[in-house]
Amino acid sequence: MKPPKAGTFAHSAMEVRRAVLLVLRAAQSPAVADVRDAPQLMRQLLHAGHDVIPLRRLVRDLLLRSADYAQPGDRSALPAVLYVGLQPLLPAGMSLEIFSQLDVFAAPGYAVAVHGTEQHHCMVEHEQRQLTIPIGTVASMKGETHLATLVLESHGGTSQRFDLEEAVKVLVGTSALPTQKLLKGQFRNLYVAMSRPTSFLCVAVNAERVSAESQALLRAKGWDIEYL
């Protein structure tokens, strides 16, 4: 199954489900302990016997919202909106006050402005300094050379594998290059992405998908590891 095309209603719904999953993880909801990504969220909750009607209503309401949660005024109301729809899935005894204090709702320490969906640029302002960061797919960056690149982990919808989870094993020498056709395609994309920068390469991967052994081996090879 192909992922929904950007700019479509289906794509927006997937982004909302992804955000909801991040909030549930931040709340340490036992209901999503085994949910690996947003496409699995509804299906696995149903399989586990959870009532997903409140969650479906929440996703619908967020998609059809009149509020702009990117703005501080509207964003302050977001925890209460999410709490109502997610309450059946939250840990027992979690109050709205505790829920609202989760780090996932904290305001960023810097201003971010996204300039239109067609420009694919993000401007970050910090301590009176501005930096415009281009954001794009690996294919859109092919042939380019960058001073620095951040490569974000991605999940192969068909291969059902996380690319950087598998690539780290190869980087540290605990696994050979893949032979599966789908995973080889993901590795080709990673090669293009990770060979763009001339001075600084950063890869963002979920720490839960990198073993302690792999982390130790990465450090031994000169990689710096930061937890965010």
pLDDT (average), residues 61-83: 79
| pLDDT tens-digit series, residues 181-215 | 888 888 988 998 899 899 999 999 999 899 999 99
pLDDT (average), residues 35-41: 85
Q: What pLDDT is attached to residue 178?
A: 85
- Write out the two tokens for 114: 């996204």
| pLDDT tens-digit series, residues 90-108 | 999 999 999 999 988 887 6
CA–CA separation, 173 vs 50, rounded Å? Answer: 41
In a domain, 120, yes or no: no
Q: What is the mean pLDDT of the chain?
A: 84
In a domain, 184, yes or no: yes
In sequence order, which residues have a C-beta less than 8 Å from that of residue 208 and are 6 or more positions away? none
In a domain, 68, yes or no: yes
Instruction: Indicate if 155 and 214 belong to the same structural domain.
Output: yes
Instruction: Indicate if 34 and 89 belong to the same structural domain.
Output: yes
Q: What is the pTM of this model?
A: 0.51
pLDDT (average), residues 9-17: 81
Picking from 59, 77, 105, the residue at the C-terminal end of a domain is: 105
Picking from 105, 126, 161, the residue at the C-terminal end of a domain is: 105
Instruction: Indicate if 101 and 13 belong to the same structural domain.
Output: yes
Q: What pLDDT is attached to residue 113?
A: 57
Confidence of residue 7 (pLDDT cuts 50, 70, 90): low
Picking from 81, 105, 129, the residue at the C-terminal end of a domain is: 105
Domain coverage including residue 177: 142-220
DSSP letter (8 states) at residue 179:
-
Q: What pLDDT is attached to residue 118?
A: 46
Q: What total of structural domains would you count in the chain?
A: 2
Q: What pLDDT is attached to residue 70?
A: 66
64 vs 67, higher pLDDT: 64
Q: What pLDDT is attached to residue 117?
A: 47
CA–CA separation, 167 vs 193, rounded Å? Answer: 13
In a domain, 135, yes or no: no
pLDDT (average), residues 63-72: 71
Q: What pLDDT is attached to residue 213?
A: 94
In a domain, 133, yes or no: no
| pLDDT tens-digit series, residues 113-161 | 555 444 567 788 888 888 887 777 787 777 788 888 899 888 876 777 8
Concatenating the DSSP letter of every residue in 37-92 gives SGGGHHHHHHHTT---HHHHHHHHHHHT-SS-TTSHHHHTTHHHHHHHHHGGGSPT
